[in-house]
Amino acid sequence: MAWQRLKVNQKVLKNKIINIFKKHKLSSEHALVCANAIINAELVGAPTHGLSRLKMYCDRINKKVINPQPKLKIKKISQSISQIDADNSIGFVAADIGIKQAIKNAKKTGIGIVGIKNSGHYGLSGYYAEQAVKKNLLVFCFTNAPPAIAPHGAKKSLFGTNPICFGTPTSSKVPFILDTSVSVINRGKIRVAERTGKKIPEGVALDKFGKPTTNAKKALAGVQLPISGFRGSGLAWMVDILSGVFTGGNHGGKVKDPFDDFSGPQNIGHLFLVMKSNLFVSNYTKRIKENIIRVKRLPKIKGIKEILYPGQSKQRRYKNNLKKEIKITSNIADDLKKLDA
């Protein structure tokens, strides 16, 4: 039974991931950074960005399109602005260094910007946004991704699902983290539907002939639709420009699919933009608290118990999962066994 669910102790799992990355020539430090990001994706309920990608990362290292021992170069452009050449590292490593640099710059000058090139898939944007928010900062994270969405008017995909990610501290421990792709649904979810043989909803994708489809496999071979037609298409284009054209990364459909294309590194670009929350007001925490209260107090649609802000349900899943064993499929258990051999 390929889709049986197994339960694995978190610590055991984390050590296994670290071990696997070390076997694939990553330093202990980088292996830990990657393991933390992968475990976090599982805990927040985003398995599409977690263990299901582990084999892909290792395959790319084996085929020399990810550099397991990158020499990242950080160039200081000003006190506020830094550029990172990630030397084809795993995205996790570049993004971890990048967000820390952006936080440092923002702490010093009020605003920090970091542009990263020659990186790879970094997992969840919200994971990095949260690091900035925990330091009481506002943050934007932009990254591009392999072609998945057709620009408005085109029948071939070119933009990635290109998330827009924005975070702000709240007055509570639960940060406001909006981390939304501009496709109607997440590509990872289509991938999971394909692996589990499930159908996808109508209106989210076209097959390769430009016809609507609910077949996940056909959708992956075809195009995903952006939210709200030209609006979503424009937002995806904006993210491609900010994270690719602007930073020096690949762009305009040139980011390779990490699962299917081993002909070279991805050269994904990321852009982190971080600001002190009290740049213009001294009582930001009080203001954001008031803002959230006003929204939560609105009369609700039938069936809705509570109006949640972005990031709240993710945080609940995280808290709920934190002390549990992690459920993995037997496919992934097989991957882990083989990779750790």
Task: For residue 179, list its beta bridge partners.
Answer: 165
Looking at residue 334, the DSSP 8-state letter turns out to be: H
Q: What is the nearest approach in angstroms of its own copies to the Cβ of residue 207? A: 13
Residue 45 binds its own copies (CB under 8 A): no
Residue 304 phi, psi dihedral angles, 5° rounding: -95, 125
CB atoms within 10 A of CB 45: 15
* Torsion over CA: 152, 154, 159, 162 (sign): positive
Three-class SS state of 273 = strand
Residue 142 phi, psi dihedral angles, 5° rounding: -125, 140
Q: Which two tokens stand for residue 249?
A: 């990364």
Length of the chain measured in residues: 341
Q: Which is nearer to its own copies, 58 or 116 (CB)?
A: 116
Binding mask 263-282 for its own copies (x = CB under 8 A): ----------x-x-x-xxx-
- Among 63, 77, 196, 201, the residue binding its own copies under the rule CB under 8 A is 77
Q: Which is nearer to its own copies, 113 or 216 (CB)?
A: 113
Q: What is the nearest approach in angstroms of its own copies to the Cβ of residue 320? A: 20
End-to-end CA distance of the chain: give it in Å, rounded: 22
Q: What is the nearest approach in angstroms of its own copies to the Cβ of residue 97? A: 16
Q: Find the binding residues for its own copies in span 140-199 (CB under 8 A).
A: 150-156, 158, 164, 166, 168, 176, 178, 180, 182, 184
Q: Find the binding residues for its own copies in span 244-263 (CB under 8 A).
A: 244-248, 251-254
Q: Which is nearer to its own copies, 72 or 111 (CB)?
A: 111
Judged by CB under 8 A, the number of residues near its own copies is 74
CB atoms within 10 A of CB 96: 23
Q: Which is nearer to its own copies, 55 or 314 (CB)?
A: 314
Q: What is the nearest approach in angstroms of its own copies to the Cβ of residue 306? A: 8
DSSP per residue over 228-270, as a string? Answer: TTHHHHHHHHHHHIIIIITTTS--TT-SPPTTT--SS---EEE
Q: Find the binding residues for its own copies in span 283-322 (CB under 8 A).
A: 284, 287-288, 290-291, 294-295, 298-302, 304, 306-310
- Angstrom distance (rounded) from CA 112 to CA 99: 9
Q: What is the nearest approach in angstroms of its own copies to the Cβ of residue 301? A: 5
Residue 159 phi, psi dihedral angles, 5° rounding: -75, 150
Q: Which is nearer to its own copies, 32 or 241 (CB)?
A: 241
Q: Find the binding residues for its own copies in span 217-246 (CB under 8 A).
A: 227-228, 230-232, 234-235, 237-238, 240-242, 244-246
